[in-house]
Amino acid sequence: MTDVLRRSPGSIVPGSAQRNSGTRPRLDPSGEPVYLASQLASICDVDLKTIHNWCHRVDEQSSEAALESFRTAGGHLRFLQSAVLRFLKRWGYPTPDALLRDRPHVLVVEADRAARLAMVEALSMTRPGDDPAAPTDPGEATGLWMSPGAYLHIWSDPYEALIGLGERAGAGAAPDVVVLGAGLGEGAARWIRAARGRIDDTLRIVTLDVDPAPVSDNVYRGPRGAFRTLLADALAASRTPPSRRRAAPTRRIPIAPREPIFVASQVASLWGVDLKTVHGWVESGDVEAFRTPGGHLRFRRRALLDLLRRFHMPIPTGLGPRRPMVLAVVPDAATVAELALSLGDGFDIISRADPMAGLAEIGTLCAGAGMLDAVVVSLPAEGIEDQQWIRAVRSHPDTKYGRVVVLGGDAAQQRSWQALGVAATLDAGRASLVRPVLERVLGIG
């Protein structure tokens, strides 16, 4: 059997790369993607002038901070994928998904650090953008890694991983294979159902020392020692032509719109303050921002809304023209109906009965545009670690800005949830009070 975890020179791995022909790179003789300047500008959402400026970008500490490039015999600029990834990482710029579509994506859930390190070693993984001449510090062996034949998104927490899966599905970049290791226990089948509910039943699952019963279709089971073989088999099967796959019900996952990004002058105009004040907010940590490779401040809409809500400031029209989006993770149909009746004229509400499915939905709603404003969840729930569930929602970089309101629990549980950053807690059966609570924590009215 051909080892699909290794790429042959000059070939491109079928899968994710085929979904975006408009920015599909060519390949150099070694098999590494090569981008035109226009392709890179489209992927990074900048103009050609910016790309040319990046080629000359330097900082005070390093003369090697520019974007590496080469020219063809005709004088046209070309960029190797590895050079682009190093440049973006050096400047702390987010890596666009479109740069990572030359090979399949694998989502790994493994709670045991030693097992994660073994995976990194077994597949000769490196982090995208790392200097190939320097040794890689594996740290906790989580986050985004790349092997010769796949990108691996490694998570230690299964709840956070489910949010991440939903986020990738919402952005149109769902994983091709999921690997489940330690950390799920008896909840493996429930996790798989939630994941496939976000994607479809053809999603290949590799389980390592985990029993996913009663789920069995498209599941590759085995011990941790067989990880490499099982993953290779799952990846090979995931590339089977659709006409040869077993028909499976699918549902379209909406592609999340791009999140509005604001420059410092726009933020100053929205608040009626000067640029010095905006820079002061950033320096004091009151508002989260990032810098482009050109050194310019940029602000995500969700970060600006978070600032306003924390300081109980009015929301300018330019930031809040739509109705707040609320996800209700509530198993009781009567409670959902009561919430819908109470919130319907001022909020958009989506409901999910299962907390696991709710995590995947949270990721999808937050993908790209930060469209989720609040989560109303009934806890405790059978088979769910409530504090772990809340931590996952509160700690994920793309969901931490949403407000969480919990229905249920006794006094001690409610205090523990509030310590984790829950915006409000209400006793079970008091869904009618959710609206005034949301109006308060979201700064409405």
Q: Contact at 8 Å (CB) between 393 and 410?
A: no
- pLDDT at position 244, please? 36
Could you tell me if 189 and 120 lie in one domain? Answer: yes
Q: Is residue 429 part of a domain?
A: yes
Could you tell me if 39 and 151 lie in one domain? Answer: no
Could you tell me if 335 and 426 lie in one domain? Answer: yes
Could you tell me if 227 and 174 lie in one domain? Answer: yes
- pLDDT at position 58, please? 60
Q: Is residue 252 part of a domain?
A: no
Q: Is residue 193 part of a domain?
A: yes
User: What does the H/E/C string look like for the chain?
Assistant: CCCCCCCCCCCCCCCHHHHCHHHCCEECCCCCEEEEHHHHHHHHCCCHHHHHHHCCCCCCCCCCCCCCCEECCCCCEEEEHHHHHHHHHHCCCCCCHHHHCCCCEEEEECCCHHHHHHHHHHCCCECCCCCCCCCCCCCCCCEEEECCCCEEEEECCHHHHHHHHHHHHHCCCCCCEEEECCCCHHHHHHHHHHHHHHCECCCEEEEECCCCCCCCCCEEEECHHHHHHHHHHHHHHHCCCHHHCCCCCECCCCCCCCCCEEEHHHHHHHHCCCHHHHHHHHHHCCCCCEECCCCCEEEEHHHHHHHHHHCCCCCCCCCCCCCCEEEEECCCHHHHHHHHHHHCCCCEEEEECCHHHHHHHHHHHHCCCCCCCEEEEECCCCCCCHHHHHHHHHHCCCCCCCEEEEECCCHHHHHHHHHCCCCEEECCCCHHHHHHHHHHHCCCC
Could you tell me if 203 and 267 lie in one domain? Answer: no
Could you tell me if 108 and 238 lie in one domain? Answer: yes
Could you tell me if 230 and 193 lie in one domain? Answer: yes
Percent of the chain with pLDDT over 70: 83
CATH number of residue 72's parent domain:
1.10.1660
Q: Which two tokens stand for residue 92?
A: 């702390």
Q: Is residue 251 part of a domain?
A: no
Could you tell me if 379 and 339 lie in one domain? Answer: yes
CATH number of residue 344's parent domain:
3.40.50.2300
- pLDDT at position 145, please? 92
Q: Is residue 394 part of a domain?
A: yes
Q: What is the mean pLDDT of the chain?
A: 82
Pick the closest to residue 399 from 306, 311, 328, 264 (CA basis). 306
Contacts of 78 (CB under 8 A, 6+ apart): 34, 35, 36, 37, 69, 70, 71, 72
Could you tell me if 65 and 134 lie in one domain? Answer: no
Domain closes at, from 200, 218, 244: 244
- pLDDT at position 243, please? 39
Domain count, the chain: 4
Could you tell me if 232 and 196 lie in one domain? Answer: yes
The CA distance from 290 to 283, in Å, is 12
Instruction: Kindly tell me if the per-residue pLDDT of 18 is higher than 50.
Output: no
Q: Most confidently modeled of 89-98, 153-162, 185-194, 200-209?
A: 153-162
Find the length of the chain. Answer: 445
The parent domain of residue 400 ranges over 325-441
Instruction: Kindly tell me if the per-residue pLDDT of 445 is higher than 90.
Output: no
What would the mean pLDDT of 170-182 be, rounded to a whole number?
88
Q: Is residue 16 part of a domain?
A: no
Instruction: Kindly tell me if the per-residue pLDDT of 120 is higher than 60.
Output: yes
Q: Contact at 8 Å (CB) between 89 and 132?
A: no
Instruction: Kindly tell me if the per-residue pLDDT of 398 is higher than 50.
Output: yes
Instruction: Kindly tell me if the per-residue pLDDT of 1 is higher than 50.
Output: no
What would the mean pLDDT of 315-332 be, rounded to a whole number?
81
Q: At 138, is the pLDDT very low, low, confident or very high (cuts 50, 70, 90)?
A: confident
What would the mean pLDDT of 129-143 be, rounded to a whole number?
78
Q: Most confidently modeled of 332-336, 340-344, 366-370?
A: 332-336
Q: Is residue 202 part of a domain?
A: yes
The CA distance from 326 to 350, in Å, is 6
Instruction: Kindly tell me if the per-residue pLDDT of 272 is higher than 90.
Output: no
Could you tell me if 437 and 359 lie in one domain? Answer: yes
Could you tell me if 356 and 403 lie in one domain? Answer: yes
Q: Is residue 44 part of a domain?
A: yes
